[in-house]
Amino acid sequence: MSTDLSEPEGRGTGAGKLILFGEHAVVYGAPAIVAGLPDGARAVARPTSSETSTLTFDATREPSSEPTSKTERDTVERAFRAICEVFDDRLDGPVEVTVTVDLPIGVGLGSSAAFSVAIARALADWTGADDHIERGVEAGESVFHGNPSGIDQLAATEGGLHFFTNSDPLQATSLDSPDLEVGICVAGPPASTREMVENVARRREHEPDLFEHLELLIGDVARAASAALREGDEARIGELMDINHGALASLGVTTSELDEACHVAREAGARGAKLTGAGGGGCICALLPDGDHSVLEAWRDRGWSAACYQL
């Protein structure tokens, strides 16, 4: 079946993600907990008279971090073309895709997965090839991250709150939890997820036994957090966030800015705080007391960008 060019366009969206527990250890089979964010990416696909498919990219959120270097632009372009290749058997010719990303980019909130899901869904909406979406997203994420765990793809596709294990096959269980208010702070510059994962892998080679113990700890924290989330035990959730951050610091993925942002959040009344995502820069998240935005104000007083989400 080929594309019906009488159809004017296809549209798709992808959610952002917030890893609440389990970064890095999830790559080695430990469980993690991830939440979809309402902000993400939007894509529109249309036929084009150009000789090749084209991508128009726009980022709306501060700090603005649209791909600026040649390497970044090349990576985004390669991911776009990898997704399009999956749909080649359903397309009559080149397409024009416009993507708008409503997340800060490269700071651990799943902008690449949201980008990949939005494009794949837009192409599927236009061609009717819904069965191509998963492979399209995997193709894009493989360009961005090399060997992605699948956790970003899960959040970007499904949204919601999930207990996730990077096993074969992947396992994900939806978590029912009372509403939580989480603050997210961009406390450092963007960092490459691929590079951070590779850095952890190199350190793991030198100290395999110690890193295995850290991964087991992070996995145990995620399991305990799963129970605490179901029970709505916010004090326990906050304590476990602090423990998780300490373990990630031992993996070598935190920075002085991320540590300071966690400290500021706790001093302002957060129940717990930790880095989220690959680390090396980017974001932290903090569990906020109900209706109290003192943490957000404290972050902003330091000049950091901050937002609040209901999970």
Segment 231-289, tens digit of pLDDT: 999 999 999 999 999 999 999 999 999 999 999 999 999 999 999 999 999 999 999 99
pLDDT over 70, % of the chain: 94
Q: Is 92 a catalytic residue?
A: no
Distance, CA of 249 to CA of 59 (rounded, Å): 30
Residue of 62, 5, 21, 53 lying closest to 239 (CA atoms) = 21
Distance, CA of 115 to CA of 101 (rounded, Å): 7
Global pTM? 0.87
Every domain of the chain and the residues it spans: 10-174, 181-310
Task: Tell me what pLDDT residue 1 has.
Answer: 41
pLDDT confidence tier of residue 121, bands split at 50, 70 and 90 = very high
Torsion sign over Cα 47, 51, 53, 57: negative
Topology given in CATH for the domain delimited by 10-174? Ribosomal Protein S5; domain 2 (3.30.230)
Q: Where are the beta strands (DSSP E) in 102-178?
A: 161-165, 171-174
The top-level CATH class assigned to 181-310 is: alpha beta
Residue of 51, 36, 46, 38 lying closest to 119 (CA atoms) = 46
Q: Where are the beta strands (DSSP E) in 175-223?
A: 181-186
> In this structure, how many other beta carbons lie within 10 angstroms of the beta carbon of residue 179?
8
Distance, CA of 85 to CA of 260 (rounded, Å): 44
Strand partners, 11: 44
Same fold, 10-174 and 181-310: no
Mean pLDDT of 67-77: 75
Contact 43, 118 (CB under 8 A): yes
> In this structure, how many other beta carbons lie within 10 angstroms of the beta carbon of residue 270?
28
Contact 244, 187 (CB under 8 A): no
- pLDDT, tens digit (0-9, with 9 covering 90-100), for 151-210: 888 888 888 899 998 876 778 899 988 889 999 999 988 888 888 989 999 999 999 999
Residue of 292, 6, 311, 19 lying closest to 164 (CA atoms) = 19
Pairing of strands 95-101, 31-47: antiparallel
pLDDT at 2 over 50: no
Among the listed residues 74, 89, 152, 242, the single catalytic one is: 152
Residue of 284, 123, 87 lying closest to 191 (CA atoms) = 284
> If you ran DSSP here, which 8-state letter would residue 111 be given?
H
CA distances from 291 to 44, 206, 218, 262 (A): 37, 46, 29, 19
